[in-house]
Amino acid sequence: MSSLILFDLFIFEPLKTKIFLILFLIHSFLVKAQQVINIESKQYDTPDTLWHGDIELNFNLIQNQNQIINTGNRINLLKNQDIHSYLFINEINLVRANANNLAFNSYQHLRYKRAIKPYLSGEAFGQTQFNEQIGLKFRGLLGAGPRLRVLYADSMKIFTGAMWMYEYEKTTDELVNNVKNRMSFYLSFLYFKEKHFNFDLVCYYQPDLIDFSDYRVLTELKAEWKITKKLAFRFGLIQNYNSVPARGFPNNTLNVRNAFNYRF
């Protein structure tokens, strides 16, 4: 057996596996390591009372010198009934390599909305969240507050809201206070007038009501430009900032996505 073949079998192949695994984990971290979950983007208008949404189940297996498994599910269901709206979201993601858990994150969100005026509604929600990538063992949220429709035109929609949240949290940092009362202020802006361009921006600000130096910020921006009838360019940016993260974890995570989409 030549030295070149030996190099490929014993050095190059394991190196390729390690490089792939590192890139896979980096991608998983950037996409899923979120302190604040953008629920606003999951809400949309429907004129009827049927259930709407999507369900996705995935299982990926890579077997070579190592066995890498990526599995999960995503459920997004919404129902409007007269002045009542119900929203349920579930997402679970697990990455295992050689029977060891490398990354696990999930969240479940249940929201009820009741219309009070054409421009005003009240919301209440409950949420659970787990995310090893940001040192979050468990986070439970209960919240309620008003939602205001600032603008609802044929080309633009703007919503804002201020919700009180009761938070119970366990992280890898045992010195962090587990129980907090927060406010969640958000602004949602959607522009879709031009045939070849649409723009979506959502911002969340969640300060601790006792210690305002403890806060979280999420900014999510999405834009799409249609180059031709079938070809489009998409840009996405998700920025999460936590002023008091678990010890050993960064304050800021950033995910930038660029993609060309071709429909035929």
CATH of the domain at 235: 2.40.160.40
Query: What predicted TM-score, i.e. pTM, was given to this entire model?
Result: 0.76
pLDDT band at 38 (very low <50, low <70, confident <90, very high): low
Number of compact structural domains in the chain? 1
Two structure tokens written together for 78: 């919404």
Q: What is the mean pLDDT of the chain?
A: 82
What pLDDT was estimated at residue 134? 81
**Predicted confidence (pLDDT) at residue 147 exceeds the cutoff of 90:** yes
- Confidence band for 45, pLDDT divided at 50, 70 and 90: low
CA 156 to chain CA centroid, Å, is: 23
Question: By the 8 A CB rule, do 173 and 242 touch?
Answer: no
Given a contact cutoff of 8 angstroms between Cβ atoms, the answer to whether 110 and 129 are in contact is no
* DSSP summary character for residue 31: H
Domain that holds residue 209: 3-262
Q: Which residues are registered as beta bridge partners of 76?
A: 54, 89
d(CA 200, CA 173): 35
Confidence of residue 166 (pLDDT cuts 50, 70, 90): very high
Q: Which residues pair with 144 in a beta bridge?
A: 124, 164
